[in-house]
Structure 1
C-alpha cells in the first residue's frame, strides 16, 4: 500500500482499506469480550469496544506507514488501543479508586511493548478478575507484532517513555477526585520543573495520546529507522501533536464530562479566548515539528484530519461558542482541514439518516 500524497487519496485508503481491516479486528475482540465470565469486566470491555471504536479507526491511519505490513500494523494498533480503552473504562467507570490497582492494570500496556517481560495477574488488586484471558490475549497480540521488528532496540526507549507518560497520567487522573489535581500538578513539576511552555493540564493532555507509539511501531514495521530518526519521531509527536489530539478530544467532550463529573483538561482555561489561543499555539508547534519528520505531508494531513474530525463532530457545534471556535481553528489550520471537516460532517449526517 503506497503512502497517499493527497487528502482525497488518504480518505480512499482509509475508507476502503483501513476501516474494513479495523472492523475485522474489532469484531474478533468483541466476540472475545462476550466470553468474559465476570459481568463487570465484560460490561466494561464491550462498552469500550462499542463507544470508543473511533479511537482504533483514527489510530489505524498510521498503518499506512508500514508499507506491505500494514495489516500487521492495524492488528497491533487495534489491540493496543483496545487495551487502553478497556483499562480507561475500568479505571473511570468501574468499582476501584486504588492507584496501585490502576498501576498494575496499566503494567499490561508496558508488557505489550516488552515481549521478554513476564506476564502478570493484572487484576490482582481488584475484586473482578475472571476475564477468560481477554487482557493477556490483547497483550500477547501486541507482543507478537513487536517481536517481528528488526530495529526494536532503536525505538525501545522512545516507546517506553511515551508509554510511561501515558500510564502515569491514567493513574493520577483516576484516583479519588480530591487527589487528582494535586497528584497531576506534582507529577508535572517532577517531569518539567519550571522549564515547560505548557501548563500542567496541557502536559497531562499530551501524555494521554497513543499516536507517537503507533507512529513508531508502524514506521518500524515498514523500514529500519535509526536511533536519531526514532528520537525525531518522538519529539515530533510529543508534546504538541499528541497534546493537540487530546485537547481537541476534551474540548468536544466538555458537556459530557460535566454531566459525568469527569476531569476535563479544557475546563482549566480561564476563558474561551485563551483556550482558542492555546489550541492555535499547539497547531502551530505541531506544524513546525512534523516538518522535520520523514513523509511530512502525511503527518501534516494527519494533523489536519484530527482538527477536521473533532471539530466536525456534532458535539462541537453544540458547545457555547463552539461554532466560532470551529471557524477560527479551521482558518488557522488551513489546507486540507476543511476537506476533512466537511467529510466528517457528511459522515455524521449519513449516520443519522441510516
Structure 2
C-alpha cells in the first residue's frame, strides 16, 4: 500500500481498511466501558464512544501514512482519541468544575505518551466523587504506551508529542472551569505563548491547541522505516498551529447552535461577524496549505486540509440554519474540487450510518 495522494484512493482506503479497524477497536473499548462499576463514569465513557465515533474515524485516516503498520497506528489513535473524548465528557458533561480535577484526569493523556518513564501509581479521579472505573482509563493509557514502545523512532518524536499534548491538556483545563473564569484564563494562557506562535487571537490559539491530528501524524510517521530525524520538527510545524486550528475551528463552527443552547464556550462566538469568521477560516486554509510544503507526502496533507472542509461541512448540523448553510457553501467552493468530493462522500457516509442505526435499533 502506498500513501494516498488522490481523493478517490484516500477514501477507498478509508472505507476498506480504516473504518472497519476503527469499529473493531471501538467495540473492544465499548465492551470494557459497559463493565465500569460507577454509573456516572460508565455513562460518560459509553456516551463518548457513541457520540464521538467520528473523531476516531477522522483521526485514523492519518494511519495511512504508516503504510504497512497502519493497523497498530489505528490501535493507538483510537485509544488516545477515546481518552480525549472520555475526559472531555468528564469535564463538559459531568459533575465537576474543579481545575484540580481536570488537571488530575488529564495526567492520563501525558502518561499515555511517556513510555520511558515508569507509570506512577496515581488515582486520576482523586478530586471527584465518582471513582471506580474498573481499570478502563488505565487500560487505554497502557494500550497507547504499548504501541509507542514498539516504535524504534519513538525517541525522535517524544518532544513534539509532549508539547502538543501539553497544549491540549492546558486548553481542556482552562475552558471547562466556572463560566466567569474561562475567558480570562484562556486570554492569560495565550499571552504566555505569544512569542512562539504567529499573530492570532486567544480563541484561535485555543482552537489550534485543541486538535490531536499533529500527534497522530507524528505517531504514524514514527512507524516508517524511512523516518528521518528532521521529520519531528517538520511535522510539528506543519500541523501546529494552522492545520490543527482549521480542524477545531470547523468543529466549533458546526456546533454553534447546540453550544448556545447548552451554554458552552465556542471559539466561533468571538468573531465580530460571519464575514470575519469566513475570512479567518479561509486564511487558516491558506496557511494550512502553505505549511504542507515541507512535509513528506505533501499531497496527502493537502487532502487532509480539503477533507476537513468537506467532511465537517457535510454534517447535518450545518443544514439547520440558512446563514450557516450559505457560509458552508462558500467554504466548500473556496476549497475546490477535493473539498466538494469529500463533502459528497461525507453526506453519503452519514446517510449510510444513519440507515444502519435505524436497522440496528
Which category of TM-score, normalised to the shorter sequence, fits these structures? over 0.9
CA deviation string 1:159-195 (max 9, x = no partner): 1100000000000000011010000000000111597
Q: Distance in 2 between matches of 1:30 and 1:6?
A: 33
1:196 Cα deviation (Å)? 3.5
Tell me the equivalent position of 2:119: 118
2:348 to 343, 346, 349: 346
Q: Distance in 1 between matches of 2:350 and 2:137?
A: 32
Q: Distance in 1 between matches of 2:246 and 2:321?
A: 18
TM-score by length of 2: 0.95
Q: Distance in 1 between matches of 2:187 and 2:118?
A: 31
1:5-154 to structure 2, matched below 5 A, reads 5-115=5-115, 116-119=117-120, 120-154=122-156
1:341 Cα deviation (Å)? 0.6
CA deviation string 1:48-77 (max 9, x = no partner): 000001100000001111121111000000
Contact 1:99 1:171 (C-alpha < 8 Å) held by counterparts:
yes
Q: Distance in 2 between matches of 1:168 and 1:109?
A: 11
Q: Distance in 1 between matches of 2:175 and 2:152?
A: 36
Task: Say yes or no: does 1:291 pair with 2:293.
Answer: yes
Cα separation, partners in 2 of 1:74 and 1:187, compared to 1, 3 Å:
same
1:330 Cα deviation (Å)? 1.4
Task: Say yes or no: does 1:231 pair with 2:233.
Answer: yes
Root-mean-square deviation (CA), in Å?
A: 1.3
Tell me the equivalent position of 1:3: 3
* Secondary structure in 1 matching 2:77: helix
Contact 1:151 1:224 (C-alpha < 8 Å) held by counterparts:
no
Gaps spanning 5+ residues in structure 1: where? Answer: none
Tell me the equivalent position of 1:263: 265
- Comparing 62-71 with 210-219, which one deviates more in the overlay? 62-71
Cα separation, partners in 2 of 1:22 and 1:349, compared to 1, 3 Å:
closer
Cα separation, partners in 2 of 1:236 and 1:195, compared to 1, 3 Å:
closer
1:154 Cα deviation (Å)? 1.4
Tell me the equivalent position of 1:214: 216
Contact 1:101 1:125 (C-alpha < 8 Å) held by counterparts:
yes
Contact 1:150 1:224 (C-alpha < 8 Å) held by counterparts:
no
Q: Aligned pair count?
A: 354
Q: Distance in 1 between matches of 2:153 and 2:351?
A: 44
CA deviation string 1:270-315 (max 9, x = no partner): 1000000000000000000012200011111111111000111111
Q: Distance in 1 between matches of 2:230 and 2:195?
A: 26
Tell me the equivalent position of 1:172: 174
1:352 Cα deviation (Å)? 4.4
Contact 1:21 1:74 (C-alpha < 8 Å) held by counterparts:
yes
Gaps spanning 5+ residues in structure 2: where? Answer: 357-361
Contact 1:165 1:207 (C-alpha < 8 Å) held by counterparts:
yes
TM-score by length of 1: 0.97
Tell me the equivalent position of 2:359: none
CA deviation string 1:193-236 (max 9, x = no partner): 59742100000001000000000001101235334221010010
Contact 1:252 1:319 (C-alpha < 8 Å) held by counterparts:
no
Tell me the equivalent position of 2:190: 188
